[in-house]
């Protein structure tokens, strides 16, 4: 067979393989989100919607169960849904699932909103950004009760809270009006953090369908006409192929490194890896591992709501802990470094969204490990420094050698063999061939020596 035919067959095989892994035109694509809405889930849904368009799917079903998430990730998902030429149906399922906070906004933005029995939605008050008590503290506690601010908390705190709540209320009201859903309850969910069950949501026109599972939802949607990206489309979902796209390796990796605890650990590995590489260059392991870890940590942190004061405190804490090992501060720098590291870890992630906090136990453990590690390394270095050197030029003083030659014109000068080299020496008394001498000082390329014993006998008569 000629090379041309081989290339043609290979291309045909590749084409058949690519067709086999793609959804057939007119299929329904299912994407599943279970957990906090963050950078990983946003990347998964945005790319999943784009893939559904490329595959010619007639509908995308997002099966969701979330307690909420980051505002930036939520808005990225909503933008993709609103721009999608393929209709999107968000289904809160299975029973016991919820679409709280950010999930409520996504549900309102979708072309079709559905819930399974035993699910709920709501509590859409924007979550505080910052530490508890900082500007942006939500007015609701998630149960419909309003937290009245004290006199000392008014002013700028109230202004920031009002801005966030008003912005969120206007946003969800706009989505409700776009999809023809209950805008009054949507605004109430934002301002008062109220929630609804699936049956109540259907009764109050917050959702469109009550469906036990995806198959039930597709049966109810068959023959319905939806408008996506300004184009009306009639669904034929009864018996349509259902293709589930699970998160790929990129989404799973992003979900791991954007966990704030993992990002903090990666940052610590990166800093200490580079520190040990600079302190002991040549091995390369610390530099390679530290560089990769630090780049991954910085990539994760730029996707998260990071408080840069927290990053500065963490770096300052590490610097203090390191300085404690070299400076006689009697523990002041070390204790200050641990305290700075703990406070930096506490305020590192600038949000109170569930699932994005760093446990205090992890922060304290990393701080103590950092202190112990640096002190142990420096302690070993100090012990090595106090040892007597056994090689190198500074180890010549105190060494013993035998006189290998004596100058004829100066009996106090001669040569010795020491550490594999020939050195010119000068003694305090005349030297003799074979005499054992001790090096007392070094002056450039010359050594000062003194006699240790008498020369061995030169033979007998």
pLDDT band at 250 (very low <50, low <70, confident <90, very high): confident
- Least confident range from 2-6, 188-192, 240-244, 349-353: namely 2-6
User: Average of pLDDT values for 389-410?
Assistant: 74
For the chain, the C-alpha Rg in angstroms (whole number) is 37
User: Average of pLDDT values for 88-111?
Assistant: 94
pLDDT band at 459 (very low <50, low <70, confident <90, very high): very low
**Rounded to whole angstroms, what are the CA distances from 46 to 73, 82, 83, 230, 412?**
10, 11, 11, 19, 88
DSSP 3-state assignment of 401?
strand
User: What is the model's pLDDT at position 13?
Assistant: 41
Better pLDDT: 67 or 304: 67
User: What is the model's pLDDT at position 151?
Assistant: 47
Helix (H) or strand (E) holding 65: strand 59-65
Read off the DSSP letter of residue 150. P
User: Average of pLDDT values for 206-214?
Assistant: 94
pLDDT band at 96 (very low <50, low <70, confident <90, very high): very high
Mean pLDDT, all residues of the chain: 80
- Least confident range from 52-61, 112-121, 155-164, 303-312: namely 155-164
User: What is the model's pLDDT at position 344?
Assistant: 87
User: What is the model's pLDDT at position 393?
Assistant: 57
Whether 278 has a pLDDT exceeding 80, the answer reads no
Whether 146 has a pLDDT exceeding 50, the answer reads no
Query: For 174-197, how does the pLDDT look when each residue is reduced to its tens digit (9 = 90+)?
Result: 999 999 999 999 999 999 989 999
User: What is the model's pLDDT at position 129?
Assistant: 39
What is this structure's pTM?
A: 0.68
- Least confident range from 58-72, 80-94, 241-255, 447-461: namely 447-461
Domain ranges of the chain: 23-123+194-250, 258-386, 393-451
Instruction: Residue 187: name the closest of 113, 128, 125, 102 by CA.
Output: 125
Better pLDDT: 370 or 157: 370
pLDDT band at 324 (very low <50, low <70, confident <90, very high): confident
For residue 233, the tally of other CB atoms under 10 A from its CB is 17
Better pLDDT: 155 or 342: 342
Whether 93 has a pLDDT exceeding 60, the answer reads yes
CATH superfamily of 393-451: Nucleic acid-binding proteins (2.40.50.140)
- Least confident range from 23-32, 242-251, 255-264, 386-395: namely 386-395
CA distance 260 to 300: 8
Decide if 48 contacts 28 (C-beta within 8 A): no
Check if CATH label 1.10.760.10 holds for domain 23-123+194-250: no
Alpha-helical runs (H) found in 327-359: 332-346
Pairing status of strand 400-406 against strand 436-443: antiparallel
């Amino acid at each position: 067979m000629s090379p041309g035919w081989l290339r043609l067959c290979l291309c045909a095989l590749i084409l058949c393989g690519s067709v086999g892994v793609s959804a057939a035109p007119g299929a329904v694509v299912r994407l599943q989100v279970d957990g906090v809405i963050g950078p990983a889930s946003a990347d998964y849904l945005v790319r999943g919607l784009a893939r559904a368009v490329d595959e010619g799917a007639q509908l995308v079903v997002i099966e969701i169960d979330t307690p909420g998430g980051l505002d930036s990730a939520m808005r990225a998902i909503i933008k993709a849904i609103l721009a999608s030429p393929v209709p999107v149906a968000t289904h809160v399922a299975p029973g016991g699932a919820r679409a709280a906070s950010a999930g409520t906004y996504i549900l309102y933005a979708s072309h079709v909103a559905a819930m399974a029995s035993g699910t709920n939605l709501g509590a859409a008050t924007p979550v505080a950004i910052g530490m508890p008590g900082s500007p942006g503290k939500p007015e609701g506690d998630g149960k419909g009760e309003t937290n009245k601010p004290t006199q000392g908390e008014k002013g700028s705190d109230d202004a920031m809270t009002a801005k966030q709540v008003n912005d969120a209320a206007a946003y969800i009201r706009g989505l409700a009006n776009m999809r023809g859903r209950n805008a009054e309850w949507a605004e109430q969910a934002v301002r008062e953090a109220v929630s609804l069950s699936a049956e109540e949501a259907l009764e109050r026109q917050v959702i469109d369908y009550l469906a036990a599972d995806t198959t039930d939802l597709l049966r109810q949607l068959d023959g319905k006409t939806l408008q996506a990206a300004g184009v009306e489309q009639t669904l034929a979902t009864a018996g349509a192929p259902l293709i589930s796209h699970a998160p790929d390796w990129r989404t799973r990796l992003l979900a791991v490194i954007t966990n704030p605890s993992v990002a903090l650990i990666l940052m610590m590995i990166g800093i200490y890896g580079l520190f040990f590489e600079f302190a002991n260059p040549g091995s390369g392991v610390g530099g390679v591992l530290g560089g990769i870890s630090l780049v991954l940590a910085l990539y994760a942190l730029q996707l998260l709501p990071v408080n840069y004061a927290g990053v500065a405190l963490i770096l300052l804490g590490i610097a203090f802990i390191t300085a404690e090992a070299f400076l006689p501060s009697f523990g002041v720098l070390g204790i200050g470094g641990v305290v700075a590291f703990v406070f930096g870890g506490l305020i590192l992630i600038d949000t109170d969204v569930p699932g994005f906090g760093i446990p205090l136990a992890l922060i304290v453990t990393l701080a103590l490990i950092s202190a112990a590690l640096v002190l142990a390394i420096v302690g070993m270095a100090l012990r090595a420094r106090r040892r007597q050197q056994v090689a190198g030029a500074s180890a010549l003083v105190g060494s013993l050698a035998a006189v290998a030659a004596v100058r004829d014109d100066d009996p106090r000068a001669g040569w010795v063999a020491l550490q594999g080299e020939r050195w010119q020496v000068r003694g305090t008394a005349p030297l003799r061939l074979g005499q054992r001498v001790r090096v007392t000082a070094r002056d450039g390329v010359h050594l000062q020596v003194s006699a240790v014993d008498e020369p061995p006998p030169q033979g007998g008569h």
